[in-house]
């Protein structure tokens, strides 16, 4: 593209252009002269195009106004006057990403699509939403998305409701989420980071409509915006559109959103706080000890990269010296760390989990002593080189899973752009890598440790202890406050709340008019590719071992997955097997100590990991295909080193170090305790699946059942150790045989011989043991369980297996899923119920999951599930709306895949016996669905709900109040 600096293109003045060779991208930085909007375009051949508009939003209180405005802008706008344009786009666009995100100092509105017309539509809806939202004239939007009083009758109790209110009750129920918020607020007490941008449940109800509108008016102006475009597109057409339709209608103004730097502390601060746990939960070994440091700004790219590298060296690996020193000092069960440079001032955090308050001073002493020792003796250069290799590998691989590359680059470049730095400086990493590589040969990193940890006065030592009384006390206080507020209200005021609530619910329940719905742009079915994506797979054989080869350009990386049949593992030993996949690579081998092994893996590969997972075949709920999977990624030229390491891990791992194994048991238990509340919806889904299929029951042994196992193992380690050691050895010997092996390799065909030769030699080193399948006794057991926790919200699950009820998997179920998720559940559970969200999934093995997320309700949500039948019986929409659901469903089917993901999906399809023809059949069914086909699913849903079971994780008092609906009720940590 031939553009000139300082020339104006459709109102945009080109300020700077540069080539980013690392991304094969040209960058163009523009300024819209009339409105003051900044715009950055990254021009490349990626057809997964990204648009984003970001505003610097700096809260001055804990009301969560930035977060609530983010939700509310997408609730209708000048041109698109439906109640939920966001949901209409979920239903009917081919988006590959559609969301909005609130950060501590910015709010982002990104969208992505591979379809040009769809991409244009998404841009239009989002730009209209942020600049002309209906929220400024409709108080019901703040009530719905933020908070409102709710009361059913004059003698009923007053209560709060609202989507963000309940979302933050859930987010701040997690000890980790609450700790992160407390640390950020206390590290930067004098600037915008002192406030919770998401909002706290205590403060959200003080947000008024006036403050809400004023926040939008102040910050949502083009002069305070950062517009981002990425990928293959006609940039001149995009600039013309943005200028003509939006920016030309605004004049440049001065927006005060600058973030003041936090002045350094005069010396180290020490603070103590508490977090809630359930009343029946033990407080032992549940304290967090956290040491935090900040210095400089995120615009110092070299220092930030170096500190991120140091964070990996000192804490992330099994060979990390500071992590291991803290663990050996018996301060806590595990150590975690993070280096955050998405703020104006970077922040380094080190946290010991599973500790006690009285160990705070010991933590500080051991930490500082070992840092001083590293400074004096020097950091092992091998550790630095290994960490450098793994970070460089990830940079060059640029594999961000399902997230579009362009979106991640957008988030990365905001680390400098938001603070008035060069936006692309963090993407141009070659010179930086060269500089850091040179610095590894010097004492640069030791000096950096001295500067950031020893000499730096801006540090915080934080003790965060569990308290089994504050959750109940907080609920009691809230109830008392609401009671007082109600008592202070006149009858007229209470009637007004009742009427206002009715008005809100009427708006929520009134369907959008056909005219409003027609305003949302959408594609035609003719724009949709009729052909499904085929699996890239060629079957080969090496030494009588089946190899699935995926001929895909991977930029010189080999993605190798080894699928070992795990059917020989006895049912009662499954939790042990899940522990095995957690600790392989973390124990010594014949050649390496566990620290040396971690270093070698980081030096010579992009990662080695293990998993245990049971697949099932399509439409066969009783099928059970358990695999122990070894996942690897490595540069082609380092394949020989990968196989040398795999031989050590698979054939020569050593479980005789009792002290080390105990460390890993305690770490596993502690990490599981932290994960449970963060992934409660996933645990509910897993538990429900265990009621209905062997594969579900098998996989659940690695979830909540695993916690029961690992807790017992930690509590009784000495008497269990010998049995554990023998079981680990036996599982290894039985599973890691070439007779059990299926291989998946993703790389270009030209590179296949390099793999084949090395794998052939490696495979001969595996045993050829034949091991009989172990019996797996599965029976349907609808347990209807409730798990009590300190959470202030619920995760309400309901499930069954539709194949066992006489139905088959087909494309109509996928469209039904889109309809339920984007219409029925959205309206009933999120909009009316105040939950953060709800989901539905129909699995190919017949499992049906219904679930809510951060939900203030319990029985009301279960009633919503039951009423699905009535919804389907009365389901009536026009062809345009039906087509919208079809397009939204296709969007989910056509999620872009990375090279690694393409290989993995093809291998999984092979294991499940899913063919290209079957995938095409499902797509054809989706594209041909009509309203009558959806209504015809009502009898199936009725039958399934009659046969369903429930599982709930939630507030202990709420579950106790409704204990009659459960067959069993337990505290989730004492079950």
Residues 950, 386: Cα–Cα separation, whole Å: 47
DSSP state of 252: -
Is 929 in contact with 882 (CB distance < 8 Å)? yes
Kindly report the number of other CB atoms within 10 A of residue 719's CB atom: 7
What is the distance between the alpha carbons of residues 798 and 947, in angstroms, rounded to a whole number?
10
Cβ neighbours, 10 Å, residue 729: 15
Backbone angles phi, psi at 809, to 5 degrees: -75, 135
* Active-site entry in 70, 140, 167, 700: 70
In angstroms, rounded to a whole number, what is the distance separating the alpha carbons of residues 160 and 248? 41
Residue 304, phi then psi, degrees to nearest 5: -65, -40
Helix-strand-coil split of the chain, %, nearest 5: 50, 20, 30
The phi, psi pair for 279, rounded to 5°, reads -65, -25
SS3 sequence, 821-851?
A: HHHHHHHHHHHCCCCCEEEEEECCCCEEEEE
Nearest to 549 by CA among 394, 737, 753: 753
Which letter, b or e, does each residue of 881-919 get, where b requires 16 or more Cβ atoms within 10 Å of its Cβ?
Answer: bbbbbbbbbbbeebebbbbbbbbbbbbbbbbbebeeebb
Phi, psi of 225 (to 5 degrees): -110, 155
CA angle 481, 483, 485 (to 5 degrees): 70
> Has 70 been annotated as catalytic?
yes
Please list, in sequence order, all residues whose beta carbon lies within 8 angstroms of the beta carbon of residue 927, skipping any fewer than 6 positions away: 525, 528, 530, 811, 886, 890
The Cα-based distances of 692 to 463, 617, 623, 702, 730 in angstroms read 44, 15, 12, 16, 29
CA distance 25 to 29: 13
Q: Spot the catalytic one: 84, 88, 140, 145.
A: 145
DSSP track, 570-589: -GGGHHHHHHHHHHTTSS-B
3-class secondary structure per residue, 853-887: ECECCCHHHHHHHHCHHHHHHCCCCCHHHHHHHHH
Rounded Cα–Cα distance for residues 411 and 418 (Å): 10
Altogether, the residues listed in the chain come to a count of 975
Give the burial string for 111-125 (b: 16+ CB within 10 Å, else e). Answer: bbbbbeebbbbbbbb
Kindly give the pairing relationship between strand 269-276 and strand 459-467: parallel
Cβ atoms of 551 and 948 closer than 8 Å: no
- Helices 85-92 and 116-131 sit at what angle, rounded to 10 degrees? 170
| CA 331 to each of CA 141, 324, 361, 663: distance values in angstroms, whole numbers, following the listed order | 49, 11, 10, 12
Q: Spell out the alpha helix ranges (H) of 748-837.
A: 752-763, 811-819, 825
Q: State the Cα–Cα distance between residues 562 and 628, nearest whole angstrom.
A: 8
Report the distance separating Cα 596 and Cα 254, nearest Å. 56
Distance CA 180, CA 177 (A): 5
Beta-carbon-side half-sphere exposure of residue 806 (alpha carbons within 13 Å): 8
The single-letter DSSP state of residue 666 is H
Closest-CA residue to 47 (of 233, 239, 234): 233
Query: Which residues have a catalytic role annotated?
Result: 70, 145
């Amino acid at each position: 593209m031939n553009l000139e600096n300082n020339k104006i293109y459709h109102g945009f003045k080109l300020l700077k252009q540069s080539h980013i060779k690392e991304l094969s991208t040209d960058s163009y930085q523009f300024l819209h002269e009339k409105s003051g909007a900044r715009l950055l375009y990254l021009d490349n051949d990626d057809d997964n195009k990204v648009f984003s508009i970001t505003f610097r939003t700096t809260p001055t209180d804990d009301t969560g106004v930035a977060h609530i405005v983010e939700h509310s802008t997408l609730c209708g706008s000048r041109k698109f006057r439906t109640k939920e344009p966001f949901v209409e786009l979920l239903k009917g666009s081919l988006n590959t990403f559609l969301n909005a995100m609130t950060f501590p100092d910015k709010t982002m509105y990104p969208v992505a699509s591979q379809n040009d017309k769809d991409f244009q539509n998404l841009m239009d809806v989002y730009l209209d939403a942020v600049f002309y939202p209906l929220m400024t004239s409709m108080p019901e939007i703040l009530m719905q998305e933020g908070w409102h009083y709710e009361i059913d009758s004059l003698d009923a109790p007053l209560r709060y409701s609202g989507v963000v209110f309940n979302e933050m009750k859930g987010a701040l129920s997690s000890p980790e989420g609450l700790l992160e918020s407390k640390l950020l607020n206390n590290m930067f007490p004098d600037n915008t980071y002192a406030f919770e941008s998401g909002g706290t449940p205590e403060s959200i109800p003080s947000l008024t409509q006036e403050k809400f509108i004023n926040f939008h008016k102040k910050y949502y102006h083009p002069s305070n915006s950062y517009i981002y475009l990425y990928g293959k597109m006609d940039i001149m057409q995009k600039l013309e559109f943005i200028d003509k339709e939006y920016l030309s209608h605004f004049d440049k103004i001065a927006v005060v959103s600058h973030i003041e730097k936090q002045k350094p502390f005069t010396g180290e601060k020490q603070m103590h706080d508490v977090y809630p746990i359930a009343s029946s939960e033990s407080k032992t070994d549940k304290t967090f000890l956290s040491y935090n440091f900040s210095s400089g700004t995120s615009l110092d790219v070299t220092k930030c990269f170096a500190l991120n590298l140091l964070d990996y060296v000192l804490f992330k690996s099994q060979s990390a010296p500071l992590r291991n020193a803290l663990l050996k000092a018996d301060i806590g069960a595990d150590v975690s760390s993070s280096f955050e440079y998405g703020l104006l001032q970077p922040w380094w955090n080190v946290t010991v989990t599973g500790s006690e308050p009285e160990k705070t001073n010991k933590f500080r002493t051991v930490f500082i002593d070992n840092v001083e020792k590293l400074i004096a003796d020097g950091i092992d250069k091998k550790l630095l080189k290994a960490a450098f290799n793994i970070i460089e590998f990830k940079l060059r691989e640029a594999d961000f899973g399902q997230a579009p590359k362009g979106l991640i680059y957008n988030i990365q470049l905001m680390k400098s752009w938001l603070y008035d730095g060069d936006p692309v400086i963090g993407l141009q990493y070659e010179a930086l890598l060269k500089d850091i590589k040179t610095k590894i040969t010097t004492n640069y990193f030791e000096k950096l440790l001295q500067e950031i940890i020893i000499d730096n006065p801006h540090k915080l030592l934080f003790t965060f202890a569990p308290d089994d009384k504050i959750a109940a006390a907080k609920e009691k206080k809230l109830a008392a406050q609401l009671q007082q507020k109600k008592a202070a209200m006149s009858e007229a005021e209470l009637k007004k709340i009742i009427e206002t609530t009715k008005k809100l619910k009427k708006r929520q329940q009134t369907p959008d008019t056909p005219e409003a719905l027609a305003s949302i742009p959408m594609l035609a079915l003719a724009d949709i590719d009729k052909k499904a994506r085929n699996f890239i797979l060629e079957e080969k054989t090496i030494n009588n071992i089946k190899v699935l080869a995926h001929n895909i350009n991977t930029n010189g990386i080999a993605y190798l997955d080894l699928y070992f049949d795990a059917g020989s593992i006895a049912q009662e030993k499954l939790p042990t097997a899940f522990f095995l996949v957690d600790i392989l690579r973390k124990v010594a081998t014949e050649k390496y100590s566990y620290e040396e092994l971690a270093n070698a893996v980081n030096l010579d590969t992009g990662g080695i990991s293990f998993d245990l997972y049971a697949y099932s075949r399509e439409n066969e709920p009783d099928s059970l295909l358990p695999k122990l999977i070894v996942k690897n990624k490595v540069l082609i030229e380092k394949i020989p080193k990968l196989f040398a390491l795999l031989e050590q891990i698979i054939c020569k791992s050593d479980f005789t170090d009792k002290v080390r194994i105990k460390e890993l048991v305690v770490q596993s238990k502690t990490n599981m305790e932290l994960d449970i509340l963060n992934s409660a919806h996933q645990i509910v889904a897993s538990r429900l699946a265990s009621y209905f299929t062997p594969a579900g029951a098998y996989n659940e042994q690695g979830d909540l059942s695993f916690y029961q196992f690992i807790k017992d193992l930690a509590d009784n380690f000495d008497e269990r150790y010998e049995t554990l050691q023998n079981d680990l050895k036996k599982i290894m010997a039985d599973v890691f045989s070439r007779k059990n092996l299926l291989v998946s390799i993703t790389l270009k065909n030209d590179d296949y011989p390099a793999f084949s030769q090395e794998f052939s030699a490696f495979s001969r080193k595996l045993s050829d043991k034949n091991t009989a399948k172990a019996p797996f006794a599965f029976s349907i057991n609808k347990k209807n369980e409730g798990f009590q926790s300190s959470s202030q919200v619920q995760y309400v699950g309901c499930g069954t297996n539709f194949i066992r009820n006489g139905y088959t998997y087909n494309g109509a179920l996928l469209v039904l899923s889109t309809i339920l998720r984007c219409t029925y559940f959205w309206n009933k559970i999120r909009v009316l119920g105040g939950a953060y969200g709800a989901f539905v999934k129909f699995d190919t093995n017949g499992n049906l999951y219904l679930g809510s997320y951060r939900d203030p309700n319990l029985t009301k949500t279960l009633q919503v599930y039951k009423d699905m039948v009535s919804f389907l019986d009365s389901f009536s929409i026009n062809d345009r709306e039906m087509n919208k659901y079809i397009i939204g469903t296709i969007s989910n089917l056509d999620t872009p895949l990375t090279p690694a993901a393409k290989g993995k999906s093809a291998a999984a399809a092979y294991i499940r016996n899913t063919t290209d023809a079957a995938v095409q059949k499902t797509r054809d069914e989706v594209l041909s669905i009509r309203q009558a086909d959806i209504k015809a699913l009502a009898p199936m849903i009725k039958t399934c709900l009659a046969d369903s079971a429930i599982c709930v994780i939630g507030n202990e008092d709420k579950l106790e109040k409704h204990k009659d609906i459960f067959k069993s009720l337990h505290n989730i940590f004492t079950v």
